[in-house]
Structure formats: structure tokens, C-alpha cells
A and B are shown apart, each in its own frame.
Chain A
Amino acid sequence: MWQRETFKKIKQIPGEEHVLPGTALCAGCGGLESLRLAAKVLGDDVIYVNAAGCFTMLAAYPYTSFKGSWLYTTMGSAPAGAQGVRDALDVLIAKGRLPKSENLKVVVLGGDGSSYDMALSSTSGAMNRGLDFYYFCYDNEAYGNTGMQLSPATPYGARTATSPCSLQHPSGASQEKKDLFEIWRAHKPPYIATVAPRYPLDLEEKFARAAAFPGPKMFLALAACPTGWLYDPAETPEVAKLAVETGLWPLKEAINGVVTHTYIPKRKPVESYLTLQGRFRHLFEPTVQTDTIQHIQARVDAYWVRATREGT
């Protein structure tokens, strides 16, 4: 049974903010909420290496919301940028040109378009080289910054700008969400975790635990997205909660490849999650697409049957 060791109570969450307000990110952004909570553990001695995406708006010239440093890269090369920064810091410290006290944590920020798609090879390389860094993927399941186009993280049945509900494809997106957690796990990095903004203690605990592991520390954060998923911004925590409670977004970690589920949901029917969001409205109106909904439910059920059998 997985237990939190550092963060047991809500009031242990540090009050100081490390991602300051005034950004142009959408009101109610679930990705920002995840990052903000993560930064409370990471602190200010951080250099963020940001792949192009929604989080570009965190430090759009001439304003930055970070007290630490921020470096901007293309969508495909953030982990390579992180390698350069890490090496530079290591060399400067080894030569005595930078005091050890000024060492920084290197944190990659990438959306799902970057993480699941364009930066997959450079992430693979960085993990393979055992780069000492954090990877924070804010997953809103589409290319959100350019207007919600299909990405490999888009789940089956979601409507995006490039997977509309049509006669040929009544379900919208007709491919399954890529399992990035398992792709990462195949590289055997010391720490991987999934987090969701509605589970702040679980999130804080995982960032606190990861600090003990030298090497790649990989995070997949659910970025519930009012703009792209088409729900009222006030419902971001509700949507994130239902993603976890239906079993669609399992909260888990993998330490040196060994998976532990950090929360076992009772598994509400997937409809409760789908009906909240406009991107799934076509599954219920004008007619209910029972097959598609059952397909989504069956996939979740199969996942948890496997997870339970493996005793994780």
C-alpha cells in the first residue's frame, strides 16, 4: 500500500508562489495548476527548458513569471537543450567557476504535442544518457496552443479541430492515446510518475520523492483544458477528478521500472467524465454512440484488470 511520507495534510503545501501571476495562460488552466504545485517543491533554483507550446506564454517577452531562469527551445529539442544546460553547469562547477551553491535543477516543460510526438526521440536520448533532469509534460491531449489539433495524446472519441465528428469518423479521433508512460518506462529511468491537479498531495509527494533520484525524473501531468475540452473554467478540478475517478488517468509511479498505483479509484462509469466536456458531446448528441462509449469503458476496464492482476 502506497503511502505519502512528506505531504500528509493540505496545510503542508508551501504558501510561497514560484510561478507568479500575470501570465497570458487561460483562466482555469489545469496545466498551470499542476506546474504551480510542482514548483512549490522544486523551488526557485531551477532552470526551465521550455519546448514551444502553451507554456511559452509563461515567459513571453518582456515578462517572465519565474524567479529562476527560463530557456526557450523548439518543440522537438527541449531535452537536448536540457543536456546542454546540465553539462554547462557541471563543467562550470567542476572548474570552480560557479560555486556549488549556485547549482540549478534542470526542468523540461513540454506539452503533449512535444512530449508524445516531436520531442520523443530527444527525450529517449536524454533518458538513455541518464541525464539528471526533470521532465514535466503538461498533457491536454491535443496541440492546444495552435487551436486544438489532434495529437498522439488525444484519446479515442475526442473531437479536435483536425478530428471532427464526420460521417466517415462519427467518433471523432479514431486512434488510441499513445501510452507515453510505458514508452518512458521501457527506458528504465529511476523515477516516473503521473499526476493530476485535483490531487495536490499526491502531486507534491511525488515531486518530493523524485528529488532523491539522480538521473531522469519524468512527470506526466494531466492538464485539464477548459478552452480545448470545452467546459466551464470553474470545472477544471472536477474534470481532473473524474479523469482519475473513472480510471482514465491512473495515478501511478514507477521507481526503476517497478509500477505502483498511488491511488486506486472505485471507477465511476466513463460517461460521468465524458458528458462534462464539449469535445465528447457528439458521443451523446444527437444520438448516443453506445459502441464508442462502450469501447472507451472496455479499454479502462482492461487496463485495471491488468493492473490489479499484476498487483500494482
Chain B
Amino acid sequence: MYAVRFHGRGGQGAKTASRILGTAAFLSGYLAQDSPIYGAERRGAPVAAFTRFGREPIRERGGITHPDLVVVADASLIGDPAARISDGITEQTILFINSPLYAEQIRTQSKLPGRITTLGVTEIALQHFGQREAISALLGAVAARLAGLQQEPLRQAIARELGDLGLAPPIIERNQTVALTCYESVQVMERESVAEPANIATTFHTPVYESPSRGTARISATGNSVLRETGGWRTFRPVLVADKCNGCWLCFVYCPDGVISMNKDDRPVVDYAHCKGCQICVHECPTHALVAEREQEGRVAWTAR
């Protein structure tokens, strides 16, 4: 059995990529299984999805704790403990990171075990689609290559899964073309035999009943959500061109998360630790004083506490 875990941010297409890989494996004659984590996933929040395929019936269910391949759709997830990318990764695990950086740079920065390979998929998507967050087919293609699947079932799988999402045929075709570019471009790693996990927990814990006054979660703090930084959600950051700003306050008013405040000179100050990068401020600025700048990896764009 080959087990692949996808990590992404809600909206990037990690779930669809996992479906594309599962369908491509199925069309290649394997038995396949894919499922996303169901939770309160949100556009920009860390999400995960799982694909298993093999020649034998797959009895294992649930999340993948010992992956053969891990596909990371957004390099900013490496520093986010909530994403749990390093779970169950050994020296043999293949790690694909969506990043224009070299594998060696990622290895040095992240200190992740496993064999790392990289490709700037977001850059490829921006170049071909001119749009952020449309990389499910491309991630699926990378995963298919690294998992040793052929091109034709991949093409069909993309058509099927994107078709189910209601995408128009020309868009699907473009996705197929660009996906195959990614398929060709990613540096392949030979699979090494994975040692069976020594011990899988089989004990069940029955929760003890507690009355609601004890048993329900209670938050005694006030306004502590600021401890949770959401700056890593961004693909682009809003940057102020100070001499164009006319101090109209509209960016402050329209920011849903309230991360823009006005200083005493009526100029906006963006709280980059929490800005999710929705670009409403950039879109609404009447004088184009706020511009979108691609987040740069390797530079300290955002750091988790």
C-alpha cells in the first residue's frame, strides 16, 4: 500500500488533489481510497487529506500516521504547529514542498527529516492562470509522479474531478496541460522500502461522563484570539505606498478581521501577524495606495510565535 498525506490551506485544493490522485490510481488499476479531514476548515486554515492505494484491499481507515509521501501545498505550513506536517515522517518519507526554493534550502530552514523535493507550483499557477489558489490539479500531478503513476490516468482523473466541481471544459484542459508540465518538472525520488510501523495503538479510551458545567470547554480569557496568528494564510500581502494614500479610512473600515488601524497621520498600519491576505483593502483603495506583494519565502515574511 502506498499512503499519501496532503497538507494545504483551505481553498488551495489539497482535498481535490487527494481525490485526483485517488482517481488516477483507481484508473491505473489499483484499489484506492481518499478522504479529507472533516472539520471546520476555512479558506486559509490548515487542512489535510489522505490517499491510499494498493493491489490488496485496503483495510486501514482514517488519517495517515505513517505516510510514504507527504505533499505540502504551502511552505508557510512548515512553521505552523497546527498543521502537524512532521507527524510520522521518517528518513524514508518523501516530502514534496510547494516552493521555488531548492530542497537543500528547505531542509536547512525546516530541519525536517525525510527526503525533500520542491517545485514552485504557485509560481507556475500564477504564470499560467494569473490567479492565486488554483493548484489542485498541479498538486495532484506532482503527487501522481512521485507515487509512480502514469500520465494518461492522471489526465482522466483531472477531467473527472474538476468536471465534478462544475469547471468548464476549456479550464479543465488548461489545468491538464499545466498539470502535465508539473508532472514533468518535479524531481523524482525513488521509493525506499518503508519499515512497518512498530506499533499501532489499538486501545480504546472511553470518555468519562462529566456534567456540562465540567464537561464542556470553557474559555476564561478575554480576547485571546490574538495569540493565534493568521498571517501565514497570505499568498499576497498588502503594502502601503505612503505618498499615494489620501487618508480616507476605507481600508480600515472594510477589513473584515480588523487588522488595519489608522495612525495619527491617517495612514493605515497593517497588523501582518494577523492579516489573512484577502486583498479587500487593495481592491477597495480609491487611490491605489495599497498594493499586493507576493509573500517571499526565505525572507522573514511571517513567523509563528
Chain A residues with CB under 8 Å of chain B are 10-11, 13, 15, 17, 19-30, 32-33, 36-37, 56-68, 70, 145, 159, 164-165, 197-198, 200, 226-227, 232-238, 278, 281-282, 285-286
Contact = CB atoms under 8 A, between A and B. Distances in A.
B259 A21 contact: yes
Given A165-B166, A227-B43, A286-B168, A20 B256 contact: no
A33 B261 CA distance: 15
Interface residues of B, number: 46
B242 interface: no
A131 B261 CA distance: 36
Contact of A227 (B42, B261, B279): B42
A21 B254 contact: no
Interface in B235-275: 248-250, 252-259, 261-262, 271, 274
B261 A15 contact: yes
Contacts of B227: 22, 63
A240 to B, nearest CB: 10
A139 to B, nearest CB: 16
Residue in A58, A62, A159 with the greatest tally of chain B CB atoms within 10 Å: A62
Contacts of A37: 253
A20 B226 contact: yes
B52 interface: no
Residue in A22, A62, A233, A235 with the greatest tally of chain B CB atoms within 10 Å: A22
B280 interface: yes
B42 A28 contact: no
A21 B277 contact: no
A238 B226 CA distance: 28
Contact of A67 (B219, B223, B254): B223
Contacts of A20: 223, 225-226, 258
A24 B256 contact: no
B40 interface: yes
A242 to B, nearest CB: 14
24 contacts: A10-B248, A11-B249, A17-B258, A20-B225, A21-B257, A23-B225, A24-B45, A24-B230, A25-B256, A26-B10, A27-B257, A32-B256, A32-B257, A59-B225, A64-B223, A66-B223, A70-B219, A164-B166, A200-B253, A226-B43, A226-B278, A234-B279, A236-B256, A237-B254
A13 B225 CA distance: 23
Contacts of B283: 234-235, 237-238
Contacts of A28: 43, 256, 276, 278-280
B159 to A, nearest CB: 16
Contact of A21 (B11, B131, B226): B226
Contact of B284 (A26, A30, A68, A237): A237
